[in-house]
Structure 1
Amino acid sequence: MISAEQNDFMTRVGAGTPAGQLLRRYWQPVAISEELQGPRPVRPVQLMGQHFVLFRDEAGKLGLLDRDCPHRGADLAFGRLENGGIRCAFHGWLFDAEGKCLETPAEPPGSKLCSRIRQGAYPVVEKSGVIFAYIGEGEPPAFPEFDCFVAPGTHTFAFKGLFECNWLQALEVGIDPAHASYLHRFFEDEDTSESYGKQFRGASADSDLPITKVLREFDLPEIQVAGTDYGMRLTTLRKVSDEQTHVRVTNVVFPQAFVIPMSSEMTISQWHVPVDDTHCYWYAIFTSFTGPVDKQQMREQRLQLYELPDYTSRRNKRNDYGYDVQEQLTQTYTGMGEDINVHDQWAVESQGPIQDRTREHLGSTDKGIVAFRRLLVKAIEATQQGQAVPMVIAADQAAAMTGPPSIDGVNETAGQGTEAETYWRAADRERRVKSSWAAARLGA
């Protein structure tokens, strides 16, 4: 049983909080690249309760600054991009991407005020269509050479969406393999050839068995949890017959991401990033091992549900997530449409702005959640003591990290004693051998 104090210890992320100190040791997604397209590439950003302005200057350089101008506190998110930086609309003070004050135009000639002013500025990098920022102290960790970061830009697609709840309960839905048999249950199987860009609608690898059928008819999974250098691996087994076992391998990348299969050709790397204690964005990078991603189709599919500029869901708590009783009786288990992001959003938002874990009763299928919470608490305590934590890594460690393997397939030789790990390792290698960009890395 978790106490209210322990719950706060894990979930609250404002400046100076234990969990907030931990999460500030990592790169955090703050925008997707397309948000800085158009005539004025400036976006306000809120991250863990702090307010920033993100911009791309005239030379294309990214900057992330504290949002309040150091002169009189006006909002730099309304500033003008000019003369090598962002200029406050109140008095014209100009700051570059490093936070250096370039001009204080109203000051008298010879004034040295500008040289004494420095705006808070933070490292920013752009990877696979996602802009990451580091707002912690000291040097940021290196990026692991995972598939989502090393695949060519043609083979990745990035998107995001807002959840109105705490980051941890949003993340924990991805550490819970059992829920898919209910929350994402479809009563009929579609043509799997029409499943591009949709999760849980295609066929499992190595078979023509629809994933919807697997989840619907085999709802008693065996879940295995293993610690890894990047966090945790979850292997979920569903025995389909004496000769077949459905094998699904998902990963938790510490502290707040998971890597899961989307289809036989794509994986999803997804972060749950706190806006504040009661809101979070999910950021996803879809990575293709076959041909280039059809970015237009993927984007159009998602814009049917999400509204710009804040990437809020059209189905939300204010309209009961589009719930339809007839649909619930005949088509989907939730009656909330076919997009699994809506299902997940309802599940985690219905727990409240911050889930009251003092009232929960965990079962055996929650073993991944239990293991992650232990890992999280241990890392928070280590941070308080100035000790090392997982995934705060140097460049040589990052270069040694690949994958991680993420498979959704049917092992046809389960009846002959073949272990699940043997199957998924072979399936992962086969997918890489056939991939133009991944095959080139096998000998690295």
Structure 2
Amino acid sequence: MLRREENERITRSGPGTPLGRLMRAYWQPAALVSEMDPQRPVKPVRLLGEDLVLFKQAAGGWALVGRFCAHRGVDLAYGRHEDGGLRCLYHGWLYGPDGRCLEQPAEPPHSTFASKVRIPSYPCVERNGIVFAYLGEGGPPPMPHYDCFQAPDEYTFAFKGLWECNWLQGVEGGIDPSHVSFLHRFIDEDPRDVYGQQFSEEVAGTGQKLSKLVGDAYRPDIEVEQAEHGLRVYALRQLTDEIRHVRITNLVFPNAFVVPFGNDKVFCQWHVPIDDYHHYWYMIFYDFAEPTDKQTLLAQRLDEVSLPDYRPLRNRANNWGFDPAEQRDLTYTGMGLDINVHDQWAVESMGPIQDRTVERLGVSDRAVTANRRLLLRAIDAFEAGNPVPARPADEAAAAELTGPLAVDTVAPTDGWEQTWREREAQRRAGSPWAGDSARSAVGAPARSAAGDA
């Protein structure tokens, strides 16, 4: 349970808010490369409560500038993409990638007025199908060397989805290990055998799909430790006296998490505020063993959303497709086979911003409470001008931010910590692209309890 002022402090991300200033100090996803029209790569973007326009630069790379012309407030999302920037349709003012006004055709030839005009602009970088933007003050930090950024393009897949609730609800759903035993459960067994579906994969050494295993072992021991990237979360399920299921997920501070997909696949997912009541999740899915089947993954995702806003077809307006017969006979939720919809329902049904002053948390919520404490401390630290988690000061520090390690395996009850690290090192050593990262990513454990509920 939080005090009302604490709940406001960790959910309100608009310009000038304490949380907003903190989140702007990190690179944030702004758009998918695939959603940019090759014929006219210009797109309006609303990010952290700001209205912006993303466009392709003539020399390569991306530019992100304020959406409205400084002259009379006209919408630059409709501007002409020409002469190295965006030209306003109203009076022809031209803005460059840095937001500077380059031309004012209607002004006298000798006028220097243009040199005094500038709209907001923010640096951008492209990583594995996502354009990231830095909206903070000063120069941006270097990008961390996380696996999702280090993986070659052919081993990755990027996508996004719109959820109609506050960003923190999405993050808290992703770092909650116990919900998977219920929310994603099937009445009999997951009937799918579909590429890239997380809970339909078999857990090596068990003969069971993940959905069945976690559904049967519904009371995991949950441990949380601090890590360079944020938090590492262990969900330990005792299968027999001799073996236990080890599932390791991660909070990547401030608004992402990393989750394993069976033996070789992992994804990193960011939850990025559009405003305080809506957000996009962005995902980079990556495979340690084989190139990804991008076309199959894209077709699967497009079956579930409407374009151009990436809004799920199952949503609040149609009760998330709830079917009582399906709930009785097939899925625990009655809301279809796509687990993204299950998660979406859980966090959207709380309301636009969850009232955390009335909730009751238990031991199984350790990761959620640890994250809230971390977030509140980081907001205070940033306001005081002190370092904050997972924001590297230089390239050497960025190179230390590797992984994070995301594991789904079975290990002996005795010695499980060493076993999963050895298997992770083997996986990386055998990967076509991750072998060089094995030593830096899989080190000795630095167990530091992040606190109980």
- The answer to whether TM tops 0.5 is yes
Q: Corresponding residue for 1:131?
A: 131
> Which amino acid in the other structure matches residue 438 of structure 1?
A
CA distance in 1, matches of 2:191, 2:207: 10
Matches within 5 A, 1:367-386: 367-386=366-385
How many angstroms does 1:386 deviate by?
1.6
How many angstroms does 1:305 deviate by?
0.4
Q: Corresponding residue for 1:408?
A: 408
CA distance in 2, matches of 1:441, 1:232: 20
How many angstroms does 1:207 deviate by?
4.1
Matches within 5 A, 1:26-65: 26-65=26-65
How many angstroms does 1:100 deviate by?
2.3
CA distance in 2, matches of 1:31, 1:263: 28
How many angstroms does 1:245 deviate by?
0.8
Aligned length: 439
Q: Corresponding residue for 2:267?
A: 268
Q: Corresponding residue for 1:10?
A: 10
8 A Cα contact 1:250 1:259, kept in partner: yes
Q: Corresponding residue for 1:160?
A: 160
> Which amino acid in the other structure matches residue 108 of structure 1?
P
Q: Corresponding residue for 1:439?
A: 435
CA distance in 1, matches of 2:418, 2:33: 38
How many angstroms does 1:189 deviate by?
2.7
8 A Cα contact 1:262 1:268, kept in partner: yes
Matches within 5 A, 1:43-442: 43-190=43-190, 194-393=193-392, 394-411=394-411, 413-414=412-413, 417-418=414-415, 420-442=416-438
How many angstroms does 1:206 deviate by?
4.2
CA distance in 2, matches of 1:16, 1:119: 17
Q: Deviations over 1:318-370 (max 9, x none)?
A: 00000000000011000000111100110001101000001100011001111
Give the secondary structure class of the aligned counterpart of 1:343: helix
Segment drifting more, 383-392 vs 265-274: 383-392
How many angstroms does 1:190 deviate by?
4.4
> Which amino acid in the other structure matches residue 310 of structure 2?
Y
8 A Cα contact 2:221 2:236, kept in partner: yes
> Which amino acid in the other structure matches residue 435 of structure 1?
S
CA distance in 1, matches of 2:149, 2:172: 23
CA distance in 1, matches of 2:17, 2:204: 44
> Which amino acid in the other structure matches residue 79 of structure 1?
G
> Which amino acid in the other structure matches residue 216 of structure 1?
G
> Which amino acid in the other structure matches residue 231 of structure 1?
G
CA distance in 1, matches of 2:284, 2:164: 21
How many angstroms does 1:427 deviate by?
1.8
Q: Deviations over 1:72-113 (max 9, x none)?
A: 111111111111111111111111111122211112222222
8 A Cα contact 1:197 1:301, kept in partner: no
CA distance in 2, matches of 1:195, 1:289: 18
CA distance in 2, matches of 1:60, 1:37: 15
> Which amino acid in the other structure matches residue 277 of structure 2?
T
TM-score (ref. length: structure 1): 0.96
Q: Deviations over 1:303-324 (max 9, x none)?
A: 0101111110000000000000
Gapped regions of structure 1 (runs ≥ 5) = none
CA distance in 2, matches of 1:434, 1:2: 45
CA distance in 2, matches of 1:97, 1:85: 6
How many angstroms does 1:238 deviate by?
0.8
Distance 1:167 1:90, change over 3 A: same
How many angstroms does 1:188 deviate by?
2.9
> Which amino acid in the other structure matches residue 387 of structure 2?
A
CA distance in 2, matches of 1:78, 1:329: 50
CA distance in 2, matches of 1:189, 1:429: 32
- Sequence identity of aligned pairs in percent? 50
> Which amino acid in the other structure matches residue 426 of structure 2?
E
Runs of 4+ in 1 over 6 A off after TM superposition: none
Give the secondary structure class of the aligned counterpart of 1:22: helix
Give the secondary structure class of the aligned counterpart of 2:434: helix
How many angstroms does 1:59 deviate by?
3.2
Segment drifting more, 92-101 vs 149-158: 92-101
> Which amino acid in the other structure matches residue 147 of structure 2?
D
> Which amino acid in the other structure matches residue 3 of structure 1?
R
> Which amino acid in the other structure matches residue 273 of structure 1?
V
CA distance in 1, matches of 2:400, 2:176: 28
CA distance in 1, matches of 2:223, 2:439: 30
> Which amino acid in the other structure matches residue 438 of structure 2?
L
CA distance in 2, matches of 1:195, 1:209: 15
CA distance in 1, matches of 2:3, 2:95: 46
How many angstroms does 1:61 deviate by?
3.0
8 A Cα contact 2:177 2:235, kept in partner: yes
Gapped regions of structure 2 (runs ≥ 5) = 441-453
Segment drifting more, 53-62 vs 285-294: 53-62
CA distance in 2, matches of 1:373, 1:441: 30
Distance 1:315 1:191, change over 3 A: closer
Q: Deviations over 1:165-208 (max 9, x none)?
A: 0011111001110000000101233477x331111110113443
TM-score (ref. length: structure 2): 0.94
Segment drifting more, 93-102 vs 214-223: 93-102
> Which amino acid in the other structure matches residue 384 of structure 1?
E
CA distance in 2, matches of 1:407, 1:196: 19
CA distance in 2, matches of 1:344, 1:389: 29
CA RMSD of aligned residues (A): 1.4
> Which amino acid in the other structure matches residue 77 of structure 1?
A
Give the secondary structure class of the aligned counterpart of 1:358: coil
CA distance in 2, matches of 1:83, 1:357: 50
Distance 1:442 1:222, change over 3 A: closer
Q: Deviations over 1:363-401 (max 9, x none)?
A: 110011111100000011112212111112121111122
CA distance in 2, matches of 1:54, 1:7: 32
CA distance in 2, matches of 1:61, 1:329: 51
8 A Cα contact 2:223 2:234, kept in partner: yes
